[in-house]
């Protein structure tokens, strides 16, 4: 099935202490205008070591840019965000992807 928009990797890089980042985490996930609230995020998680996070998102560039610009991590200055567009050419099946998330989850 063709994508309605495109696929993007969003790399958040923390600019504030982890205590500040942690205090904004709930708002980051719950913000209705953000990548999670708009249903654009497909998979996400923190970097190791915890210096930021990565979101794989699907949508138009305009949707992704608007969502990132309004994200509480970004608006507070706690993180910067880089948006990278890519063209997927391979994926494992959904069951394998779900198993991978389960194995990697903490």
Two structure tokens written together for 75: 């608006």
Regions of the chain where pLDDT drops below 50: 1-2, 106
Residue 1 lies in a domain: no
Two structure tokens written together for 15: 């600019």
User: pTM score, two decimals?
Assistant: 0.84
- State the pLDDT at residue 99: 62
Domain of residue 62, residue span: 6-104
- Residue 66: CB atoms within 10 A of its CB come to 17
- State the pLDDT at residue 106: 46
- State the pLDDT at residue 100: 56
Q: Residue 85: give its domain's CATH number.
A: 3.30.70.1060
- State the pLDDT at residue 75: 98
Residue 77 lies in a domain: yes
- State the pLDDT at residue 88: 79
- State the pLDDT at residue 90: 74
Domain count, the chain: 1
| Edge-to-edge order in the sheet of strand 41-46 | 41-46, 52-59, 6-14, 79-86
């Amino acid at each position: 099935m063709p994508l309605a928009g495109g696929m993007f990797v969003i790399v958040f890089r923390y600019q504030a202490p982890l205590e500040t980042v942690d205090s904004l985490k709930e708002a980051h996930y719950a913000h209705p205008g953000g990548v999670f609230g708009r249903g654009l995020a497909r998979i996400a998680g923190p970097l190791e070591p915890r210096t930021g996070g990565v979101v794989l998102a699907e949508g138009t560039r305009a949707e992704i840019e608007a969502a990132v610009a309004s994200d509480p991590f970004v608006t507070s200055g706690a993180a910067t965000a880089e948006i990278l567009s890519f063209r997927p050419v391979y994926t494992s099946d959904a069951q394998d992807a779900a198993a991978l998330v389960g194995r990697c989850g903490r």
